[in-house]
Every structure is written in structure tokens, then in C-alpha cells.
A = this chain, B = another copy of it.
């Protein structure tokens, strides 16, 4: 029996679903998550793929009528958490955009409801970058003790800004750059080091955001993790339009026995044998991994607990930057 999937919104990473189309699931229906959301790009992709899901005007109506097995949530960011909460309450598995909430109140409610339903319902945030060959390779190297004990981490997120939709320009609807972009780096740090965060200090600035209202063009955090592990993170939307790729993701992990770096889609390892490029693993597929979990065939590499935790840290990092103070975690 095929899984029945609904999609709410077309403002995030629904591409993770479209890259994993298979005969294990049908996309039965789609709706906006907020009134007036632009679904044109998503609907055009459906057309190209000769798919014709039902179109609802209201996601609540859709979820009630369709009672899908899975809902994919990627609408304007401030609504993702509120819709996730309803999905969990209805017992529907959810594949949800990160951050899974843009304020702590929504996050706490999600955490509470999830703790009550977690034996029956699963959800995971769209931390699809983990599945890139270079990050999988980095994770496996660290797990196989290639750098010894981790002591210092630096993570970089750099994006082209281009022209973003209107809802990116309001903190209320966008959530902030540390929460939307920085969260990936927060997830890498926690996922790869397996360490918990102790405190965070942050800064961000809206200057040079090319008329993007409240969107922060730059930001940085300094984290303390367990065992005095130190981590820094920078985010920027200043990658020049002429750059070869949209993003410039980097990660440097300094351990007692070696230093590992992700840059230019490669992994470099420096240890007693010098520096070398490590052969990349194969690309993974987050939605396939998510579905396997839902189908009881394995554990998704992104857990609901990690999705909650990374969101919590990202929102606290934003709070630190907003209030210019060290926030204890």
C-alpha cells in the first residue's frame, strides 16, 4: 500500500520530496500554508512530472479531508511550526522545514505534544545538507576517530541573496537569518560532535541587506559546548552573484589527532600523514530516509529530538544576538 502524502506550501525545500519520487508514495494533495502563498513554482514542477495532486485552498481542510500518512510542511516560515503542531495532534507524520518553529512558545508546544505521541508519530526537519557527500564523509571520519577528540569547530554558511520574497523581509514571518540559515551550521556542529551546547553569544546586522527590510545580511555566534569544546559560526547573504555556486558551506573540525575540513564540496583531512582529500561518499536522500523510518525499515538520520534541539539552539542564538548577551543553554 502506497503512503499518501500531502504538501503544505511551496516556499521551502519541497525539492527533497521531488528528488525522491518513487512508487512507495503518492502526492495526493497540495495547499498553500498561508493565504496568497505563491505555489506557482511547485505546481509547475508537478506539471513537468505529469503529476496532478488535488489543490486545496486551506491546509486544515486538506488534512481533514485527505487524512494523509505524511505531510510535507514548507510554507512561510513562521507558520511551519504551527502546522507541524496540528499534524502531530492529528497523528500525521511530518517532514517539516527547518527551523521547526520561529519562536520558543511554538517550539515548546511541539516538544510537549511530540512527547505524548512519539510512539505513533514521527517528524524530521529538513536538514538535507547532512546528506551531501562531503558532510556524510565528514561525519563518518569523525565517527571513526580520524580527528581524535574534537576541541574546536568553525562553521560557515554563505549564500547569494538575490531577490527574496516579501516574507523574508519581516522578522515576524522570516524568523531571522541565524534561525533560517545559521541553523544548518548549528545542526552540523551538534550532529558531528555529538556534544550539547552550554552557552551562546551572537551578533547579527541588517546593514548591506540590499533593501531586504529586517533580514540580517551577516551574523556570527560563539558557542561553548560540553567539555570546553569551542565552536564559532558565521552566516552571510553576501556571496557575490558571480560566484560559481549559490552557497559556500564550510566546516572545520579541530581534534586532538587531526583536522578535518569541508570546503568546495570536498573533505580535507590533515593528520600525522599530512593533508589529503578524502574520497567522498555517495549522496544520500533525506526524504527517502524519512520514509524508511515511517515505514519501520530503519531510523532516520535526522531525529525529531535533534530537530527540536537544533531549533532551540538557533532561537537562543538569535536571542543572544538580538539582546547582545551570553545566553545559557
- Which chain A residues (178-232) contact chain B, with CB distance < 8 Å? 199, 201-205, 207-208, 217-222, 224, 227-232
B254 lies within 8 A of A232 (CB): no
Chain B residues with CB under 8 A of A243: 259, 270, 274-275
B271 lies within 8 A of A240 (CB): yes
Q: Answer yes or no: A239 CB below 8 A from chain B CBs.
A: yes
Chain B residues with CB under 8 A of A272: 240-242
A254 lies within 8 A of B238 (CB): yes
A238 lies within 8 A of B151 (CB): yes
Chain B residues with CB under 8 A of A255: 238
**Contact A205/B151 with A238-B254, A254-B236, A325-B326 known, Cβ cut-off 8 Å:** yes
B158 lies within 8 A of A220 (CB): no
Q: Answer yes or no: A137 CB below 8 A from chain B CBs.
A: no
Q: Return A76 CB to nearest CB of chain B, in Å.
A: 27
**Contact A208/B258 with A230-B218, A234-B232, A239-B270 known, Cβ cut-off 8 Å:** no
Selected A-B contacts with CB under 8 Å, 29 pairs? A151-B218, A151-B238, A152-B220, A152-B238, A154-B156, A156-B252, A158-B254, A203-B224, A204-B230, A205-B228, A207-B228, A218-B230, A218-B254, A220-B230, A222-B232, A230-B234, A232-B234, A238-B255, A238-B256, A240-B258, A240-B270, A243-B259, A243-B270, A243-B274, A243-B275, A244-B274, A244-B275, A324-B326, A326-B326
